[in-house]
Structure 1
Amino acid sequence: MKKNIAIVMGGYSSEKDISIISGNVVFNHLNKDKYNPFRVLILKEKWVVLDDDNNEYPINKNNFSFSKNNNSIVFDVVFNAIHGAPGENGMLLSYLELLNIPHTSAPFYQMALTFNKRDTLSVVKEYGIKTAISVYLNKGDVIDTDTIIAKVGLPCFIKPNNAGSSYGISKAYTAQEILAGIETAYKEDDAILIESFLDGIEVSVGVIEYQNEIKVLPITEIVSENDFFDYEAKYEGKSQEITPARISETQKNRVEVVAKKVYKALNMSGFSRSEYIFVNDEPHFLEMNTVPGMTEESILPQQAQKAGISLPELFDNAILNAYK
């Protein structure tokens, strides 16, 4: 009997439109001979299943099921395609785990941890992973730009602590720009971090569980036309994403070792894509994305393709892993 797969998409953050695109790609590429896929749109105002004509069927939150033609349909596995809250920060996953419904992401605690940039950095530093120098602020804290500059230098990056797709990130060259960047970041989150600028090659490294092994996918070099890898660069063609990356064998070997070490240190499972910058051939960890984009043009699917893994194979593997 074919398994019922709920592909959850949407979410509560600025990333909801990107998530819907990813979810539809998963829906279109899942093996229909093997699975019954359903698109589940999760928004603050509604949780609904969408049919092929975009008719909506409300989700029963008591057991995460829905009714159609007087039949109650339950899900065997949830494929998580929600970027940001509540899919990437662990909230939805804790609910699914209470209901004993398998899902394609890491357990809720690992998702919550890796969604929090400052907490992720604090963990990986304990394992000797190199990172940028950081300053942390919560909304309402006194802002002393002289102290910030003395610690992280200029230029520096200001980032929301809990946000993705480069929303709310800015690069500051002056004290005044730091203040403006803080204001922008606070629009996305009440906690932010300010990081030193690392001058070097930026790469994106996908690490997944594939056929019961932790696999580092071919590495992607990021070359942004803008000042950094911002939203425009990621989603509006303002960057080159070169796979495999134009890096030395030494750099490749080092970042593969570090990427696998980070994946294990954070006790991850499922999908991950992390960013690193090389400084003197040493990879410095920036952050981890645990629900990466899943369109044909997205980085992790590109990497999988270079590794000889098609989208149907990639998605099928995630569902099989969920059963574990």
Structure 2
Amino acid sequence: MHKKNIAVLMGGYSSEFEISLQSGATVVQSLNDDLYNVYPVHILKRGWFAVVDGQEFEIDKSDFSFKDAFLPAGQAGAKRVTFSACYNTIHGTPGEDGKLQAYLELLGIPQTSCNFYESALTFNKKDTLSVLKSYGVPMASSVYVNEGDDITMEFKNGVAVNIGYPCFVKPNRAGSSYGVSKVYKEGDLEDALNKAFAEDSEVLIESFLSGTEVSVGVFNFGDGTKVLPVCEIVPDGDFFDLTAKYSGKSQEIVPARLSDEDTQAVQSLTSGIYEIMNLKGICRIDFIFHKGKPHFVEVNTNPGLSKESIIPRQIKASGQTLTQVLGQAVEDCMKRLGN
């Protein structure tokens, strides 16, 4: 049987690149090597490289191929390696914000994440909230700030009245809780804004939602939207920050300790948001049960897949394996683009 070449894209240009490398390593280990020739491809600021036996081979961006110098004995020259599909595990730019999606679509190479427009839309928290608010999805109150805006006393008073304290300050276009702060009083607001502006020139200030935090994986591989078991998140600290996510300083309980009614409510809302936003591949949507109702927090179109991540735990709890589900994601993206 002819095996297809699959590139696993990892890295990226944001603070999340190291986490993405961990996610990519999980995908490389999990894809069935009886079916695919799997190549790690590092998308980095210093260049794009296929990694073969620890050596880097530069990707030709004109057609997303590379020359592999490792050939069986007796063969001369380097062979050109092209790809049937890309498994996209880049968190942040350029793999989660639509840029790589658009590039690969122009080249006719399938990739497992959302299409470029939906990726760009969902990467922008403010725009996502605007779309979902029109469908009546419950969410926190929020204020949007651009870098360089005057943080006047009038603005601060507006935050106090319309948002209240405590509140969350977060970059508009970043993930993995980079740049996020929980602010308890007005005097700490500017420091939190500066921390968020270090990650992005656009920032959201959101009202605090108290309640159980949950995260729900969802996908559709052409046979209907499938929602994974709900994960309940219990951070050891004040909220589910970067340290809690990736240093084991939280409890992630699958299935969540919810009533059947609440489980059904949040899974139904997850499915609805996936379909409203026209999402593709494996996504993860986060909520907080505030005053007894699931309130939308954010959607992750390239969710983490490292050993500490939520999606692998949810897949295991559903009775499936990563090899099965990630393989379905690869096959589905090739069908979508007709390969």
The TM-score with structure 1 as length reference comes to 0.98
Could you tell me how far 1:248 is from its partner in structure 2?
1.2
Q: State the match for 2:198 in structure 1.
A: 187
Could you tell me how far 1:314 is from its partner in structure 2?
1.4
Aligned AA for 2:46?
Answer: E
Native 8 Å contact 2:246 2:308 kept in 1: no
Q: State the match for 2:146 in structure 1.
A: 138
Aligned AA for 1:212?
Answer: D
Aligned AA for 2:241?
Answer: D
* Bigger mean CA offset, 211-220 vs 237-246: 211-220
Q: State the match for 2:74 in structure 1.
A: none
Q: State the match for 1:68 in structure 2.
A: 68
Could you tell me how far 1:48 is from its partner in structure 2?
0.6
Q: State the match for 1:50 in structure 2.
A: 51
Q: State the match for 1:262 in structure 2.
A: 273
Give runs of aligned pairs for residues 167-316 of structure 1, distance below 5 A: 167-210=178-221, 212-316=223-327
The whole-number CA distance in structure 1 between the counterparts of 2:272 and 2:135 is: 8
1:94 paired to 2:102: yes
Aligned AA for 1:239?
Answer: S
1:123 paired to 2:124: no
Could you tell me how far 1:238 is from its partner in structure 2?
1.0
Aligned AA for 1:42?
Answer: I
Q: State the match for 2:38 in structure 1.
A: 37
The whole-number CA distance in structure 1 between the counterparts of 2:320 and 2:135 is: 31
The whole-number CA distance in structure 2 between the counterparts of 1:175 and 1:115 is: 28
Could you tell me how far 1:211 is from its partner in structure 2?
6.1
Could you tell me how far 1:280 is from its partner in structure 2?
2.4
The whole-number CA distance in structure 1 between the counterparts of 2:14 and 2:186 is: 29
Could you tell me how far 1:210 is from its partner in structure 2?
4.3
Q: State the match for 1:21 in structure 2.
A: 22
- What are the Cα deviations for residues 118-138 of structure 1, in whole angstroms up to 9, with x where unaligned? 000001111110000000000
Q: Give structure 2 stretches of 5+ with no counterpart.
A: 70-77
Native 8 Å contact 2:141 2:163 kept in 1: yes
Native 8 Å contact 2:229 2:254 kept in 1: yes
Aligned AA for 1:315?
Answer: L
Native 8 Å contact 1:134 1:193 kept in 2: yes
Aligned AA for 2:50?
Answer: V
Native 8 Å contact 1:250 1:281 kept in 2: no
Could you tell me how far 1:262 is from its partner in structure 2?
0.5
The whole-number CA distance in structure 1 between the counterparts of 2:224 and 2:314 is: 17
Q: State the match for 1:114 in structure 2.
A: 122
SS at structure 2 position matched to 1:177: helix
- What are the Cα deviations for residues 275-304 of structure 1, in whole angstroms up to 9, with x where unaligned? 101122211000001111112331011001
- What are the Cα deviations for residues 94-113 of structure 1, in whole angstroms up to 9, with x where unaligned? 00000010000110110111
The whole-number CA distance in structure 2 between the counterparts of 1:28 and 1:237 is: 22
The whole-number CA distance in structure 1 between the counterparts of 2:223 and 2:58 is: 36
Aligned CA-pair RMSD: 0.9
SS at structure 1 position matched to 2:205: strand
Native 8 Å contact 1:207 1:217 kept in 2: yes
Native 8 Å contact 1:211 1:317 kept in 2: no
Native 8 Å contact 1:223 1:240 kept in 2: yes
Where do 4+ consecutive residues of structure 1 move more than 2 Å? none
The whole-number CA distance in structure 1 between the counterparts of 2:279 and 2:50 is: 29
The whole-number CA distance in structure 2 between the counterparts of 1:179 and 1:280 is: 29
The whole-number CA distance in structure 2 between the counterparts of 1:228 and 1:2 is: 45
The whole-number CA distance in structure 1 between the counterparts of 2:227 and 2:30 is: 23
Aligned AA for 2:57?
Answer: Y
The whole-number CA distance in structure 1 between the counterparts of 2:265 and 2:3 is: 42
SS at structure 2 position matched to 1:20: helix
SS at structure 2 position matched to 1:201: strand
Native 8 Å contact 1:11 1:85 kept in 2: yes
Percent identity over the alignment is 48
Could you tell me how far 1:140 is from its partner in structure 2?
1.1
Q: Give structure 1 stretches of 5+ with no counterpart.
A: none
The whole-number CA distance in structure 1 between the counterparts of 2:295 and 2:68 is: 50
The TM-score with structure 2 as length reference comes to 0.94
Native 8 Å contact 2:169 2:192 kept in 1: yes
